[in-house]
Chain A
């Protein structure tokens, strides 16, 4: 499989910075924003965005993780998956602005599952979505509020996000076969 690097480490850093700024701008400061990363790579992304927001605003932006495995609509089609940690900040999500963070937005099914999971945990004032890459091909009426990179792809191509925390390097690759 041949893969082209779409974003390198510097690009990823810039994109994260931009998303942090956008979230702050849209929510008029970070006073009631909570970031929830969707495992696996959404979690370190959320933490990095939150860190950036914290350093800009000067107060700690709460960040957590939200496992959506048990909310997926393809149980039985893909066999059992290991569950990841769901870690909701102690203050809870009621009346907060929850920003879901994931690496790639594709069919939208993961986000659909995440919305259901959020619903079972509390009643946020608003839910928004931030992704590093939007590769299109939505199967549900879902769009991201904050997109690092819009990347038109064919279904035959695969998008791979690598992060230092999980893969040792920051980069986004576009491969010519298979689905991400």
Chain B
């Protein structure tokens, strides 16, 4: 394949060079200087400054950490259809502020992204906004109805070059349809990202099933409803020799099933969300739908299990499942509330708090799990690349010692449904660069 598929057509030549001084690439102890020119990394080390254009913009990074720009495999941008909750523009602002240079826009919009026309529209709008690459996810079935396959190849061959297909929000529960989807996408190296939720076991389900759901009188969402689908799907993937991606797994049992599948050599990847790394079902005690999410927040034991899984590589990536919801869809009783939470702006802070600070992951590991591997799963060109000369200058600079108290009004999203309000997160995004151009500097949009 040639070129950077998602690179805007504009010619970057002649743009002002940027020199970043004193940056710790991938969290190295040793800080270096790095220079961006023409959208790429032009130099690292002594020559970065020495051979810089006299007009170059020089930024003192002061020992902060540079990682390849983050790639989210699971974002809901709501456009088209629910522009009151989020637009591609506001979602991309949140993404840039969160250190992302690429996001995968989930298909459950209105209309559903189940045709080449809709995915191209989303892709184009992302390019116009220009804050990060917007990579559409195509629906597996027409209208997410779980009945007939959407025209997957047409979406793959469109300008949007869709590689990830998902009915996210709804499980492809029909085993035959799932088998066919897994088989069909092999033709264009696609992947099915499954929302693992056995529908019959989760009728009217509201929260994790356990002692707490019994006490609160909220219909339970058993772990087995997730684990059973993952178990079925890894066996299907093995059988048809295709690759499977498991969205937002949330239970200890799911981690164990994926671990078993990988040991067997099955081509499966899995993601966990920041909120499942940090929050537990106890928050449902408030009956505040801010904490209502699909899959539901689970137990402390499950939180430990997904952290272990992410640390040992059983879980490949962190994906946000950024799910904006309009105020009125959360300002209500639990049962009427919408499922979902914001995630883009807080993801790196949550990962720092839950994985880096306790010593489960290094910053280089974080780069793998939030940039390199998600780009690989999504077959995204030009993202998640090494920080090396000649590579695209997609980068996030993280301040690992800049704790911030999260508040809803800091959210760039149209919606404010962050579950991390009142949490102090240990790290924050200082700057984001998309192909050499800053989208965020000093923690603010450029």
A/B contact in complex, CB under 8 angstroms: no
Binding site for A on B (CB under 8 A): none
Binding site for B on A (CB under 8 A): none
